[in-house]
């Protein structure tokens, strides 16, 4: 199984790094599960993330293996992707091929812009709920959900909700027991001090 994380200019760091850590730990610690995690970008140039980190994708769009799960993170960089026909076509094609389409934060705006969320429930960062509704037709915006699983599309709310969504996906694709194993391995037990 190949899980791809999309990278683009001004991507929010934790939106991609949180799910990457969860899925990467699954792949690394349980190699018999045959999971591969890749970062996909347009080219081999460094990508500046929202908070200044610079990263490189290790695969290129159109030149990668078939993708079973796509994680589309958010960040201010998603705005530049809206209306881009190549991005719309890419996500539509992946959805039509049976890829499980997941998003974190405003990554859901990219899916809405491509028509993938029309008539479906979805969520995003709390500050972008109206924008999500406006980008599609009859999107059932769920402001109080950390993530929404609607079959072949799973959307997560802002930033850390992507980690929860990733554990949900492991539970769905493998088992709740494996999701608990990975959670224990990375010591994910959020108890914020404030």
Catalytic (active-site) positions: 105
Specify whether the CB–CB gap between 95 and 152 falls below 8 A: yes
For 77, which DSSP code? T
Of residues 146, 112, 111, the one with CA closest to residue 126: 146
Token duo for residue 82? 């809206």
Q: Does residue 115 come out as left (phi exceeding 0), alpha (psi in the -120 to 50 range) or beta?
A: left
Q: What is the DSSP string of 57-83?
A: -SEETTSSPPPSEEEE--STTHHHHTT
């Amino acid at each position: 199984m190949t899980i791809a994380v999309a990278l683009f200019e001004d991507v929010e760091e934790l939106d991609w790094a949180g799910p990457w850590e969860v899925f990467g730990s699954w792949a690394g610690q349980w190699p018999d599960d045959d999971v591969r995690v890749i970062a996909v970008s347009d080219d081999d140039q460094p990508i500046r993330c929202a908070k200044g980190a610079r990263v490189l994708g290790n695969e290129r769009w159109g030149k990668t293996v078939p993708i079973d799960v796509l994680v589309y993170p958010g960040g201010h960089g998603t705005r530049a992707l809206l209306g881009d026909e190549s991005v719309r076509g890419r996500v539509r094609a992946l959805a039509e091929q049976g890829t499980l389409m997941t998003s974190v934060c405003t990554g859901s705006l990219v899916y809405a812009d491509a028509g993938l969320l029309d008539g479906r429930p979805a969520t995003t960062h709390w500050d972008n709920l109206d924008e999500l509704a406006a980008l599609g037709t009859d999107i059932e915006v769920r402001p109080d959900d950390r993530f929404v699983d609607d079959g072949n599309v799973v959307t997560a709310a802002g930033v850390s909700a992507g980690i929860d969504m990733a554990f949900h996906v492991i539970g769905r694709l493998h088992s709740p027991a494996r999701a608990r194993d990975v959670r224990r391995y990375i010591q994910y037990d959020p108890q914020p001090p404030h």
